[in-house]
């Protein structure tokens, strides 16, 4: 039964209000990977932690912070939603290796090495040339491995991702992206990357963001399940999960911050375009209330075994977190 499972959404960036926390809880989600920062530097990231501390204080009956899988088990047992913090960029560590451990201690469990652009660590998926992991990047990967901070390459370029999988002594994740074979987009991942990821114990979270899906907002649940099935054939079901990339109730200004940060004076449209600059239309079968449950049912109907569906819907994330957060 859906409601008995550990349900984990491996990426959301919604407008975090009490109402939305209650929606999350009522949807049956046990834990969610929340994007804390996109372009915020170390100092600004402290303020973001501070704002979340207030949310925890004010909503302790609905949400709890996750520092390890025992907190997810506690969330499940107490009918609350565990909040797993990640950054979609390496901006929270500035240019300072020691801030990896500082941010980990503050509760940042997951960090992307890049967000679309070249970073100090590696190359993002929209750059013309992918030069791979940098000198600083190698040091940071080693340090993230040491302190138990999870490496996420969702927005990184191919060679940088393959480099990282090779350098890292721990499995990494691609928390929210889809296979290129299902939809050819710069943000999606080649079979080479997927095989290297799975071959080292890594995790892929399938994205529900229309720009990452075949036929965009018209993608059907059965198409989505077929993509999952083909990826399971390629790398094994134990490496598959969900990272919906759900961004609900956010104004256009947030989309522009995600896409432009402080780095561009002219508007960058990311996966959109000047004639299609807004949030994409939501998938009718993936809303906040029933999205994960619909996927759960869809996968069962598509022919996945119960145990496989349990893994994809949260069990794999739980096991991956358990292994990855150990020091």
Site of interaction with a second copy (CB under 8 A): 42-43, 46-47, 49-51, 53-54, 96-99, 101-102, 105-107
Return the structure tokens found at 199: 């071959």
Helix (H, G, I), strand (E, B) or coil at 37: strand
Q: Indicate the residue among 54 and 135 with the shorter CB distance to a second copy.
A: 54
CB of 58 to a second copy, least distance (A): 13
Return the structure tokens found at 242: 């969900």
CB of 99 to a second copy, least distance (A): 6
* Ramachandran angles phi, psi of 277, nearest 5°: -95, -5
CB of 65 to a second copy, least distance (A): 10
Burial class (CB within 10 angstroms; exposed 0-12, middle 13-18, buried 19+) of 77: exposed
CB of 319 to a second copy, least distance (A): 27
In eight-state DSSP terms, residue 327 is -
CB of 93 to a second copy, least distance (A): 10
Q: Indicate the residue among 43 and 135 with the shorter CB distance to a second copy.
A: 43
Q: Indicate the residue among 26 and 94 with the shorter CB distance to a second copy.
A: 94
Q: Indicate the residue among 106 and 319 with the shorter CB distance to a second copy.
A: 106
Q: Indicate the residue among 68 and 270 with the shorter CB distance to a second copy.
A: 68
CB of 26 to a second copy, least distance (A): 28
CB of 325 to a second copy, least distance (A): 17
Q: How far apart are CA 43 and CA 40, in angstroms?
A: 8
CB neighbour burial string for 224-241, b if at least 16 within 10 angstroms, e if fewer: bbebbbebbebbebbbbb
CA torsion through residues 254, 260, 265, 268, sign = negative
Q: How far apart are CA 70 and CA 50, in angstroms?
A: 23
Q: Indicate the residue among 107 and 214 with the shorter CB distance to a second copy.
A: 107
CA distances from 134 to 82, 118, 141, 164, 236 (A): 34, 10, 10, 10, 31
CB of 41 to a second copy, least distance (A): 8
Return the structure tokens found at 32: 């969610």
Q: Indicate the residue among 65 and 179 with the shorter CB distance to a second copy.
A: 65
- Residue 192's nearest CA partner among 214, 213, 163, 169 is 163
Q: Indicate the residue among 102 and 300 with the shorter CB distance to a second copy.
A: 102
Q: How far apart are CA 228 and CA 242, in angstroms?
A: 10
H-run or E-run covering 225: helix 221-235
């Amino acid at each position: 039964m859906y409601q008995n499972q550990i349900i984990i959404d491996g990426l959301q960036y919604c407008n975090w209000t009490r109402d939305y926390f209650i929606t999350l809880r009522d949807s049956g989600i046990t834990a969610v990977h929340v994007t804390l920062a996109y372009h915020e530097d170390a100092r600004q990231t402290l303020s973001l932690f501070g704002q979340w501390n207030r949310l925890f204080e004010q909503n302790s009956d609905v949400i709890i912070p996750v520092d390890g899988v025992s907190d997810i088990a506690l969330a499940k047992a107490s009918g609350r939603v565990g909040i797993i913090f990640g950054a979609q960029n390496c901006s929270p560590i500035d240019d300072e290796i020691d801030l990896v451990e500082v941010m980990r201690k503050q509760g940042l469990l997951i960090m992307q090495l890049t967000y679309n652009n070249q970073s100090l660590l590696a190359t993002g998926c929209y750059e013309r040339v992918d030069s791979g992991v940098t000198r600083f990047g190698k040091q940071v990967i080693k340090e993230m491995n040491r302190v138990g901070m999870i490496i996420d390459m969702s927005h990184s370029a191919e060679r940088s991702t393959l480099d990282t999988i090779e350098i890292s002594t721990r499995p990494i994740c691609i928390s929210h992206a889809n296979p290129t074979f299902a939809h050819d987009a710069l943000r999606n991942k080649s079979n080479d990357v997927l095989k290297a990821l799975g071959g080292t114990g890594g995790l892929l979270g399938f994205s529900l963001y229309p720009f990452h899906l075949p036929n965009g907002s018209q993608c059907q649940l059965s198409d989505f399940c077929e993509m999952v099935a083909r990826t399971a054939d390629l790398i094994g079901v134990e490496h598959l999960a969900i990272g919906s990339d759900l961004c609900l109730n956010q104004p256009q200004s947030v989309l522009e911050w995600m896409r432009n940060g402080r780095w561009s004076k002219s508007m960058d449209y990311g996966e959109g375009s000047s004639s299609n600059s807004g949030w994409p239309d939501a998938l009718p079968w993936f809303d906040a209330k029933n999205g994960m449950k619909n996927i759960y049912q869809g996968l069962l109907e598509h022919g996945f075994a119960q145990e496989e569906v349990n893994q994809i819907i949260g069990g794999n994330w739980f096991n991956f977190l358990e292994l990855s957060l150990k020091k």
